[in-house]
Amino acid sequence: MKKNWVKLNLFYIGQSTKKHQIFRAKQWNKSLEKIFKNTIYNEKYEKIGFIKDIFGPINFPFISIKILPNQSFNPNDKFFTKIA
């Protein structure tokens, strides 16, 4: 099964007490629920972390991203993931 790249349209909120990066989805549709626990990539398609949780309102949920250790993180980067 081929996986397609999806650009995530996210707005950075801040860091949680568990050191997760919290974002708000600017655009959302039901098919994006498949990204739960997926790997997150930056603009260079380098693995930077994974989606830890999706929570909040159905139309514009919050997304918690756990950044991998020793990985640089810029909240203004464009983020991508793959969905089947």
User: For residue 1, what pLDDT is reported?
Assistant: 58
Low-confidence ranges of the chain (pLDDT < 50): none
Neighbouring C-beta atoms of residue 23, cutoff 10 Å:
21
Q: What pLDDT is attached to residue 2?
A: 66
Domains and CATH numbers, the chain: 4-83 (2.40.10.230)
pLDDT of residue 3: 74
| SS3 at position 45 | coil
Contact by Cβ (8 Å): 3, 83: yes
DSSP conformation class of 60: S
The whole-number pLDDT of residue 33 equals: 86
Half-sphere exposure of 65 toward its Cβ, with a 13 Å CA cutoff? 31
